[in-house]
Amino acid sequence: MKVALVQNHPIFGMKEKNIDELEKLIRSGSADLYILPEMAYTGYQLKNADELKTIADTVDSPCISRFTKLSEELNAGIILGFPELSADGKIYNSSIFITPEGGRHVYRKTHLFYKEKLFFAPGNTGFDVYEWRGVKIGLAICFDWYFSESFRTLALKGADIIAHCSNLVMPYCQTVDFARAIENRTYIATVNRIGTEERDGEKLTFTGGSVLVSPKGEYLIKAPVESTGIFISEINTAFSRNKSINDLNDVMNDRRPFFYFK
Ligand code: ACM
């Protein structure tokens, strides 16, 4: 499967314009699965909860429909982050996995970061894996990486690749992904944005540098830190399903969970 990491530079609140930019990036490279950042078309830094209400979208909103139409037209999967207004009236920091066959799988961020805790409802979906075109795809969002249990849970559920939609502001994740990929023997796609947002006197700088790491710890993609683009690589489930590292060790079968939570 050909996987594309789409690294963009959204402007806060300019949803249509940001989707135009994402669509242009997506159309500039051919892949089976396109992975976009967290809060991919809204911008990230919120002033307050009322502002979040003005940018949140339902799964069948006109903004998300632009991606579902694109998915159908290109016959490709698209995964992107967005602030989700749910049927229960709560707003989650979510990602959605859209397939051209009509799949609409939503993940709600489990580990909220910093001021997200003031504005978003904590995710209630847990971590799930979806099989599509022979590949098992797990969903996670940004700060989830800080908790090794997130990617471990997805790996234990059989993920070949973890689609990790991000708006990273700390410098560590792209390095830590190396360890997460080899300890779980999964592909990890951390897809980040670039640029800065300065709102209400607080400045956030996003670290770009999206990465795709293989189950053997190879950096198949290392995107630039300061420019947008689409970065494409092939993944192979033969590698993510082979958990043995020598004739006697299998990193999943050798686990001894009885001793881990005492
Ligand atoms: C983050 O979770 N957006 C840092």
Q: Which atom of ligand 1 is nearest to the CA of 168?
A: 4
Q: Which mutation among 95, 111, 167 tests ligand 1's pocket best, with the greatest number of atoms within 8 A of CB?
A: 167
Is residue 198 annotated as part of the catalytic site, yes or no? no
- What is the pLDDT at residue 75? 98
Residue 242 pLDDT greater than 80, yes or no: yes
Residues 6+ away with beta carbon under 8 Å from 204: 44, 45, 169, 196, 197, 198
Return the axis-axis angle of helices 15-27 and 62-74, rounded to nearest 10°: 10
pLDDT band of 229, cuts 50, 70, 90: very high
Q: What is the pLDDT of residue 170?
A: 95
The single-letter DSSP state of residue 244 is B
Q: Report CA(246)–ligand 1 centroid distance (Å).
A: 36
Tens-place pLDDT, residues 61-77? 999 999 999 999 999 99
Report the distance separating Cα 242 and Cα 71, nearest Å: 30
User: How many angstroms is it from 145 CA to the middle of ligand 1?
Assistant: 9
pLDDT for 191: 98
**Distance, CA 141 to ligand 1 centroid (Å)?**
8
Binning pLDDT at 50, 70 and 90, where does residue 261 land? confident
Mean pLDDT of the residues in the chain:
97
Number of the ligand 1 atom closest to the C-alpha atom of 112 = 2
75-113 tens-digit pLDDT: 999 999 999 999 999 999 999 999 999 999 999 999 999
Q: Answer whether residue 256 shows pLDDT above 90.
A: yes
Q: Is CATH 3.60.110.10 the classification given to domain 2-259? A: yes
How far are the Cα atoms of 11, 62, 74, 192, 260 from residue 166, in angstroms, in the given order?
Answer: 16, 23, 24, 5, 29
DSSP state of 37: -
**Best probe residue, ligand 1, of 92, 112, 169 (max atoms within 8 Å of C-beta):** 169
Between the alpha carbon of residue 162 and those of residues 69, 152, 241, the distances in Å are 24, 10, 13
Q: Is 222 a catalytic residue?
A: no
Q: How far apart are CA 73 and CA 208, in angstroms?
A: 28
pLDDT at residue 29 in the model: 97
The pLDDT of residue 117 is above 70: yes
Half-sphere exposure of 259 (CA within 13 A, CB side): 3
57 and 2 Cβ atoms separated by less than 8 Å: no
Backbone phi and psi for residue 44, each to the nearest 5 degrees, phi listed first: -115, -45
For 179-191, the pLDDT digits (tens) are: 999 999 999 999 9
Q: How far is the CA of 27 from the centre of ligand 1 (A)?
A: 27
Distance (Å, rounded) from C-alpha 83 to C-alpha 43? 10
Q: Is 142 a catalytic residue?
A: yes
Provide mean pLDDT across the span 24-39. Answer: 98
> Percent of the chain beyond pLDDT 90?
99
Global pTM value: 0.98
Domain spans in the chain, listed from the N-terminal domain onward? 2-259
What is the predicted pLDDT for the residue at 262?
Answer: 66
According to the model, what pLDDT value does residue 200 have? 87
